[in-house]
Structure 1
């Protein structure tokens, strides 16, 4: 190979291998045979080649929220920290951006932090950002994506359509026919899926869909209050409301109190998420359980499998939702 320090390309040429294969062998990638790795290691030793020092991975998983202010995020964090602890990892929490995309300076920051992987809640990345993270060997996964994720991106979400179907079927089984709905933001995939499930249940029961009973919320208490007051102030108010988040259900409870409606005697309410406070509302809230802890744990496991080069059957995982019946719904009189 000549005098002086050999280059990687020279070592590859001497072994009749590609530079890419030698690089993979040096970095212990799984798609290089043991025999090839052994041959490369011996050639490196014989030539005196020294591998460049690399930034050591921080032993943590980073999770990116738009905001961290309620029990929804806490439930996700619990699932993630439990899984991370099993693998000897810690968790870094970042607040950045919105439902569509983290802030513009986030990518450079995460590269400097160099975690073993990243979980993005709702948000997605541009092709350039995804390529940049890939070049630094930082896999990422989207938890509860706000839009349709790229086929090449990993994602985990709940079965929102079935959740919307179960909630509405429950109210129909109790005899309700005027069933209002307060969705989340219309540009979010989970909102659309829950609304579609609601529509499917009405069509199944041959109940005409009334667009006047549909309101767009924001998944927060304010959306439930404002849109709840709007629905309950109608000349013919609904006898039941499906709110597409438990936080919005809290707002509907307050709207009902202000307007003199008693729950569940005058108004049945179903939420979505089953956050911890749902069971302690007055009355306790019937809701669709979204498996938030399991979703976070699943996302972490997928990240770690990706880092280890283990093949996964699916890039996209959908976990089941279930109806939790409590005291906020009853048969219509």
Structure 2
């Protein structure tokens, strides 16, 4: 393997074990050589045959793993990794500012890292780069300050499609429930929605409320917004996530209003629970599993020697019309109007 890769035997050993500092290209050459010859560790007596830990494992790093969105991310990444012959390790980003997830990942010699909803610090990326471990961002919360590839969806276009659908279905007053913290994707959804309102129904009564990405806070925000919204006529409500839309259902019911008789509601994400609300929730579907799979395939390309830059892979949203905007059966509307 050393001869084939053009490096020393010690470099091969360090690359296979994920130890030491080396250029990504050097590590990739060693791993390709190991895969070509079918190398296994001598004395390995249990478990699946190994070609070096770093050629078997991808890490998925998220701040938590107990929500409908992260369930979809994990499922999509796990399926894609298995199809490519990789195992997926779930790594939690801890709230501690001195979180050592880069060191934990480096010590097991992972082949690559997906950071979900996270933008790494310069210090964290320095650890990854010194170890030659490629990193791909999945729906980063802000634009990264360094050159990194990312996978995301068309948040602004989705917001526009939500506004157009509410207007087409008769809404004449509007509530938009934005989110705090104001992450990149949340801002894009709200900006797209308000941009479409201004273009199509300029001067229409509207109220913007913010919630902390939770159903409970969205319920309170919706109640306040309904009390503040001027004028008369059907109301169109857009929430930045399905969970916040679910909270808005409670606020609407407590105000003595009905969905969709008085208020038309649209969420964002299309997680599993959206279809089980009553009425079922119209939402902007982002292809969460497909996005996670795209991140895995990007990492696999890097392991095979492809150069990673700052490419943005953007998968399109779709509007899924259901009962909360009067659709009798689910209908897919693929794009916002230009």
TM-score, structure 2 normalization = 0.77
Matched, 1:67 2:64: yes
1:37 — aligned with what?
Answer: none
Pairwise CA distance, 1:115: 1.4
Counting only pairs closer than 5 Å after superposition, residues 212-291 of structure 1 correspond to structure 2 as 213-234=207-228, 236=230, 239-291=235-287
In structure 1, C-alpha distance between the alignment counterparts of 2:321 and 2:26, rounded to whole Å: 56
* Secondary structure of 1:149's aligned partner: coil
Closer, same or farther in 2 for the Cα pair 1:308/1:282, shift >3 Å?
same
Q: How has the CA–CA distance of structure 1 residues 23 and 261 changed in structure 2, closer, same or farther, with 3 Å as cutoff?
A: closer
* Residue 293 of structure 1: how far off its partner (Å): 0.4
Q: What displacement does 1:218 show? A: 2.1
Unaligned runs of 5+ in 1: 1-6, 9-21, 35-54
**CA–CA separation in structure 2 for the residues paired with 1:312 and 1:249:** 37
Mapping of 1:4-43 within 5 angstroms? 29=29
Cα distance between partner residues in 2 of 1:313 and 1:190: 21
Alpha-carbon separation, structure 2, partners of 1:324 and 1:251: 19
Q: Would you say the 8 A contact 2:119–2:140 is kept in 1? A: yes
Structure 1 residues 328 and 146: CA distance shift in structure 2, 3 A? same
Tell me how far apart the structure 1 counterparts of residues 267 and 240 of structure 2 sit (CA, whole Å).
6
| Structure 1 runs (4+) greater than 4 angstroms displaced | 22-28, 311-314
After superposition, where does 1:1-333 map in structure 2 within 5 Å? 29=29, 56-57=53-54, 59-97=56-94, 104-150=99-145, 152-208=147-203, 213-234=207-228, 236=230, 239-311=235-307, 315-330=311-326
Tell me how many residue pairs correspond in the alignment.
Answer: 287
Q: RMSD of the alignment, in Å?
A: 2.9
Q: 1: distance between equivalents of 2:69 and 2:187?
A: 19
* Cα deviation digits, residues 252-300 of structure 1 (max 9, x gap): 1111222221111111100000001111110000000010001000011
- Largest Rg, 1 or 2: 1
Structure 2 Cα separation of the partners of residues 278 and 96 of structure 1? 27
Change (3 A) 1:197 1:305: same
Contact 1:96 1:103 in 2 (8 A): no
What per-residue deviation string (whole Å, max 9, x for no partner) do you get for residues 279-327 of structure 1? 1110000000010001000011111111221246862111100100000
Measured at CA, do residues 137 and 231 of structure 1 come closer, stay the same or move farther in structure 2, by a change above 3 Å? Answer: same
Q: TM-score, normalised by structure 1?
A: 0.78
Judging changes above 3 Å, is the alpha-carbon distance between structure 1 residues 97 and 177 closer, same or farther for their aligned structure 2 residues?
Answer: farther
| 1:58–1:113 contact (8 Å) kept in structure 2 | no
Moved more, 121-130 or 75-84: 121-130
SS of residue matched to 1:145? coil
Structure 1: distance between partners of 2:220 and 2:156: 25
